[in-house]
Amino acid sequence: MALELLPSRSAGAAENMAVDFLLLQRYPQAAAPRFRRYGWHRPAFTFGYSQKIAFVRAQVAALTGDPEARPELCRRQTGGGVVDHREDWTYALVIPRGHPLEELRAVESYRLIHEALAAALAAQGVPAEVKRACEPPPEGAECTPGGVCFQRAELYDVVNRLSGAKLAGAAQKRNKHGLLFQGSLWQPAVGPTAVDWDRFEADFAAGLAAALGTETQPVPWPEFHEDEVAGLTERYSSPEWNEQR
């Protein structure tokens, strides 16, 4: 069972989130791990399923330095914090139900995927590594993802070994169909190293395939029903979805 590599595409925030979820829910071929890299039509931020919209708007205003800024905002189906997609490298990995990686504890799947990402960066001279321990949390708090992504590295995030800066984080969702893993690499944090991003993508996908015990296989874009994509995109664009908390 190969790791299927979908063509890279760019879209608005709501459509990107809709496609990721449909890849988990409605993939029209035999169940196989699938990977896609994608971009953004406009400046965008996504945020975790359980986050409150007032907090998100405050963080976006702080990150942009402009309380009047109006980037696209979209709530994800996955958890995690606020993610700035203005200068990131974004991907999704979908693992079908019953696959050995899908059956791992969330922290272990997080580690394996990020080890492949760190190795792909290190192959081009970036001092990247997976964070093996949490920073001491405030009294009574736990070391779990949340808040604003890239402001603080959590367990098994990818960090710059020299500066300690967070390079990559992710969020996950499991349901009866499998695992959706949405990841983001903050390109400005890579530093002065000139990265060939096409090579990085190929190396990362090959590393993921090795972790899955398989090989990569490019495949065509799936033939989703047009109304289904449009309907879910409309839902993810709605105030009912994005402002429900």
pLDDT above 90: residue 150: no
Closest CA to 69 of 42, 41, 49: 42
Sheet of 83-84, strands arranged across: 72-75, 44-47, 83-84
| Domain with residues 3-239, CATH architecture | 2-Layer Sandwich (3.30)
C-alpha–C-alpha distance, residues 19 and 51, integer Å: 21
Position 48 confidence tier, pLDDT thresholds 50, 70, 90: very high
Question: Tell me, what's the pLDDT at 224?
Answer: 81
At 213-232, the pLDDT tens digits run: 999 999 999 888 778 899 99
C-alpha–C-alpha distance, residues 80 and 46, integer Å: 10
For the chain, the DSSP string reads: --EEEPPPEEE-HHHHHHHHHHHHH---SS---EEEEEEESS-EEEE-TT--HHHHHHHHHHHHT-TT---EEEE-SS-S-BEE-SSEEEEEEEEETT-TTTTS-HHHHHHHHHHHHHHHHHTTT--EEE--SPPPPPTT------SBTTSS--TT-EEETTT--EEEEEEEEEETTEEEEEEEEEGGGG-S----HHHHHHHHHHHHHHHHTS-EEE-PPP---HHHHHHHHHHHHSHHHHT--
Q: Which two tokens stand for residue 110?
A: 């997080």
C-alpha–C-alpha distance, residues 222 and 42, integer Å: 24
CB neighbours (10 Å) of residue 25? 16
C-alpha–C-alpha distance, residues 27 and 217, integer Å: 16
Question: Tell me, what's the pLDDT at 147?
Answer: 54
User: Considering the chain, what is the average pLDDT of its residues?
Assistant: 89
At 109-144, the pLDDT tens digits run: 999 999 999 999 999 999 999 998 765 544 444 344
